[in-house]
Amino acid sequence: MSVRKLTASLLTTLAMLGAIATGNAQDHVPPADPLAFDPDFQWFRPVYDMDLADMKPKKRANTGWFATYDRLALYASRPELEIAQDAETKLDQGWGHRYEIGYMLPDVEHGWMFTFTQLNGPGKRDVVATERLIRFGVVPDDDGENGPIIQGDGNTLGYDQRLYFVGDSVNVMDFNSYELNKTWRMEPYHYGGILEPFLGFRWARLNDYNSQQNYITTANGSALPDPNFGDDYEQLTTNSVITENEILAGQFGFRYVKFRERFTYSADFRGMVGGSLQTARSQRNVDTTTGIGDTPDNNFSSQTRALYDRNEEFVIGFDIRGELAYQLTKAIKIRTGVQVIDLATGIWRGGPVDPTGTNQEQGGSQDQDVVMVGATFGIELNR
């Protein structure tokens, strides 16, 4: 079965499940007042340990609207490139955000939940500051002597010489995820734990950026004189590939929560199955600069036509969270925790291995995994 047919089947199944859930809830539609969870908005009203000790777990599990925000510090695995020198077992840090909003109906103990996760980075690159052909943009002083270098002359800002920061990407990516889940709340267990299973859909996008740069110049002998550029010139070549993974997946999971005094312990598990629609865009840029000393430069830039490659893969993954929250007021908690996102199959990073010679030996597998793991810090409202 192709990925497109599988995606269509998943969407049809989710639509049927949603229709069944809607049909079962007809007796409760329209729902209660959306602001009924706290009509007086006393979010900061003090809460006392004695009140919490006398409150049963079912009463502590809030109903109505809720919202959370978490700051993410996640380490992501490096791409699996088709070279022996890659370091796919290492992790590099990125920063992100997670937003969650939803509601739980007070009488029937079910509702909806939307989650948005964003990870910016990692942005790990190996960079070397390389001295370019220096043009001393000097201005004579009043006494006729040469004055200071003029920054506007093209010298790198903050330096007394012109530099190229030549680098190769090591682990450069970003990740965005959107989730919509139908949730249910079960009766509390004997020791107070509450299970909240859910079923839904996840759309995610993982972009990988792979680039290599090479700098040559006649000043150090790495470039030979060229009749097109003269005896003195420099050239920076950049090969870049942007690989996009559009992930469409059905999702199932649960949240387990337990209360103890002011503390709330929770664990989330999400399993996902679906498809990844992949696109890689490859391109080469060449920047050439001529001239040396106080001779004005001439700049030449050339760019190859962008090459595209497409593919589809099957995706299996999971998302695990563990959190500890501390209740400050009636409706507000602060929390910290850990999170692991593992896209075990179906991710393409590094781009094509050799698209007509522009990216030789630097491409990556079209069916690799990505692991993101780290800490979270956040706040809850009526969760």
Among residues 140, 139, 71, the alpha carbon closest in space to that of 378 is found at 71
Position 242 pLDDT exceeds 90: yes
**Using one digit for the tens of pLDDT, what is the confidence trace for 128-158?**
988 877 655 555 555 555 555 454 445 566 6
Q: Give the three-state DSSP class for 292.
A: coil
Give every CB contact of residue 126 below 8 A, 6+ residues apart in sequence.
167, 168, 170
Q: Give the global pTM.
A: 0.81
The Cα–Cα gap between 314 and 347 comes to 9
The Cα–Cα gap between 116 and 157 comes to 38
State both tokens at 352: 């094509």
Scan for tokens 């896209």, then name that residue. 343
210 compared with 36, residue with greater pLDDT = 210
State both tokens at 283: 């391109």
As beta bridge partners, residue 68 has: 100, 380
The Cα–Cα gap between 111 and 359 comes to 49
**Using one digit for the tens of pLDDT, what is the confidence trace for 284-340?**
999 888 876 555 567 788 999 999 999 999 999 999 999 999 999 888 999 999 999
Q: Give the three-state DSSP class for 11.
A: helix
11 compared with 132, residue with greater pLDDT = 132
Position 209 pLDDT exceeds 90: yes
Among residues 304, 328, 193, the alpha carbon closest in space to that of 239 is found at 304
Position 93 pLDDT exceeds 70: yes
